Amino acid sequence: MASNNDKTPPGAPAVKWRFPDVHPEGRKFALIAAVITLVSLFFWDFITWPLVGLTLWVAAFFRDPVRVTPQGDGLIVSPADGLVTMIERVQLPRELAGPNGLGEEPRVRVSVFMSVFDVHINRTPITGTIKQVVYVAGKFLNADLDKASEENERQYFVVEDKNGVRVGFTQIAGLVARRIIAFTKAGDMVVAGQRIGLIRFGSRVDTFLPEGYGAAVALGQRAIAGETILGRKGAPDVTGIRQ
């Protein structure tokens, strides 16, 4: 007899967990690792098992899970998986400032740090049009450092919704990361939660909230790209804190 708490509709198929798909950008790396592992089986069998673990880690790093994005006005979803490490009101970087960017006034910046164990597919925080994409070459300092936002390799996005509200966010390479990849370009229409790029291998994403919006996450909270509401219109200002 079914439990009173069983909400599954009669006849509905059972849902089973499965490993998320590996993003096409990572399949070549997983294949290379698998080939090296196979070769080691014949020539250096003493390292085969560590290489098996490495192959699985590479596949897991590039995993691309399905996400369900919250719908509603005045919501900004997280563009990255990871730990919320900073919530501050800061001066805009010059790449996001000006009439074609977010203006000149300081904005609330919410930083999400991605470890090498987090999903590294980044997603757009709102539905709208990508107004600009700016890539800047730089260093590979620890992405958790504040100065990484000014000195590391990084890529800036500005997205504008149908009401003219603009959100800026930045992909920042980290200590191990050596490549930032964009899936979209200026002029593209995007839907909140849509994949817009990735960073290899451990990094940070900064989101600059529009005026009138506040952070909807807490310091130290785990964010999920495309699902966690990072900012909300009318939310109180809780800036000036960091992990």
Q: Which residues are catalytic?
A: 203
* Alpha carbon distance, N-terminus to C-terminus of the chain: 50
Total count of residues recorded for the chain = 243
Cis preceding linkage at 42, omega within 30: no
- Between the alpha carbon of residue 25 and those of residues 8, 29, 58, 173, 196, the distances in Å are 36, 8, 11, 17, 13
Token look-up 């899936």 returns 183
**Residues whose CB falls within 8 Å of the CB of residue 179, separated by 6 or more in sequence, listed in order:** 173, 199, 200
CA 221, CA 188: separation in Å to the nearest integer? 31
Give yes or no for a contact between 86 and 220, defined as CB atoms under 8 angstroms apart.
no
Question: Which DSSP state fits 211?
Answer: T
- Between the alpha carbon of residue 227 and those of residues 9, 52, 140, 193, 232, the distances in Å are 25, 32, 28, 7, 13
Q: How many Cβ atoms are within 10 Å of 95's Cβ, its own excluded? A: 19
CA 91, CA 16: separation in Å to the nearest integer? 47
